[in-house]
Amino acid sequence: MHVEIIAVGKLKERYWTEALREYEKRLSAYVDLTMHEVPDEPAPETLSDAERLQVLQREADKIDKLLKPRDGIVLLDIQGKALSSEAWSESYEMLLGEGFGRLVFVIGGSNGVHPDLRKRAHLRWSFGPLTLPHQLARVVLLEQLYRGIRIMRGEPYHK
């Protein structure tokens, strides 16, 4: 399966990139993984609702350029469904059976994602009520993807 990760914002710190590389290496035995970063839109700390929607639209336009019609979209969304690793593994297996050309995981920017993009998601997945830095969310996503695949395949995972 081809898996795409689309994340708003640039990963700068070496420790985050090293963690991602480790999970990319582990996942390479199971999926064809591609990661894309789209620039976040500059925005002041305080935005009106209209300004926030404009920022989200510009970010969504960049994400849309990377999406294809047959993509299965999994949106990381704090308002999404919280899943245990085992439940995530089952959801992943169900998504594989849907016949998507590829699975695309979307991580929005600090202002969230545009409502139209949220509506297009086939699964809205929450890592729980915690607010995670977007860099850490990427690492957690790859770790859970790896763990879910191992669970699905009946392989041990304890690290």
Domains detected in the chain: 2-152 (3.40.1280.10)
Q: How many Cβ atoms from other residues are within 10 Å of residue 15's Cβ?
A: 9
Strand order in the sheet with 123-126: 32-38, 2-8, 102-107, 71-82, 123-126
| Residue type for position 25 | K
Q: Is 136 annotated as a binding residue?
A: no
DSSP state, residue 66: T
34 is in an annotated binding site: no
Q: Where are the alpha helices (DSSP H) in the chain?
A: 14-27, 49-64, 85-96, 115-120, 134-152
Amino acid identity of 55?
A: V
17 annotated ligand binder: no
131 is in an annotated binding site: yes
- pLDDT band (50, 70, 90) for residue 158: low
Query: Is residue 2 within 8 Å of residue 102, measured between CB atoms?
Result: yes
> pLDDT for 83-106, tens place per residue?
999 999 999 999 999 999 999 999
Q: Please state the rounded mean pLDDT for residues 31-51.
A: 92
Q: Is 108 annotated as a binding residue?
A: yes
pLDDT tier at 130 (50, 70, 90 boundaries)? confident
C-beta atoms surrounding 13 within 10 Å: 10
